[in-house]
Structure formats: C-alpha cells, structure tokens
Amino acid sequence: MIRFRRLRNTLSLPFIYSMIIPLVILDVFLEIYNHICFPLYGIPIAKRGQYIRIDRHKLPFLTDWQKLNCAYCSYANGLVHYSTRIAGDTERYWCPIKHQMKKGFIPPKHHEAFAEWGDEKGFQKRFRHP
C-alpha cells in the first residue's frame, strides 16, 4: 500500500509543480493591477503579506521534502486567497450585485453586503461611479 501511494505521489509531481509557472505569472499581474488600479478606484491596496505566509518550512520536525511541499502549498494557497481578495474588492467596486441563487451555489463571503439579485434600487444605492 505504501509503494502504491509513493507511486501515485510521484506521478502527480509534474502536474503539481508545473503550476508554479501560472502562479508566478498570476502573482506578477496581481501586483501590477493592485498597485495601479486600486489607487485609481480609491480602494485600499491589498497587502499580500496578510494573505501569503510561508513559515511552515521552519518547523524542525519536517523532512526537507515536506518543507519544500509546505512552502509551495503556502505560496499557492496564499496567492489564491490574495487573488480572491483582489477580485472581490474589484467586484465590490464594479458590480455589487448578488448572483441569482440556485441549488448548490456557494456565494462568496464578500457578496454579503451586495444588492440582492434583481434589486435595482439596492444596486443604484451601492453603485456610485460611472
């Protein structure tokens, strides 16, 4: 059973670690967008250090391989969390309307303050720019 698990893990490595390329590209573009567009919109710049924390590799009980995996996962998941913040702030600025509720849909937390689906007055109240 352990051999099968190691084989599965080894086979998945190229797929997992090849994601570093689009992640780094996303990171670069998010930083540019965050630092140029948010000031233009009057939105506070999101601080990436509040979302991306790479520290588990410092734990002495992890193997070198586990430390590498932890650093990678910390970066990847933190970056996605950071990008969700930036996308959510952008959506809040441009289109603060909740989606039409359908079975199985899980609305994002940042939609809580949005206008309800179909609520024109609520939307006009929140949408204050051209």
Structure tokens at 24: 């780094």
Nearest-5° Cα angle at 83, 80 to 84: 85
13 Cβ contact partners less than 8 Å away, ≥ 6 residues apart: none
pLDDT of residue 126: 75
Cα separations (Å) of 108 from 16, 105, 122, 127? 26, 10, 19, 19
Residue range 26-45, pLDDT digits in tens: 999 999 999 999 999 999 99
pLDDT in 10s for each residue of the chain, 130 residues: 667 778 888 899 999 999 999 999 999 999 999 999 999 999 999 999 999 999 999 999 999 999 999 999 999 999 999 999 999 999 999 989 999 999 999 999 999 989 899 988 888 877 766 5
Q: pTM of this prediction?
A: 0.85
pLDDT of residue 19: 96
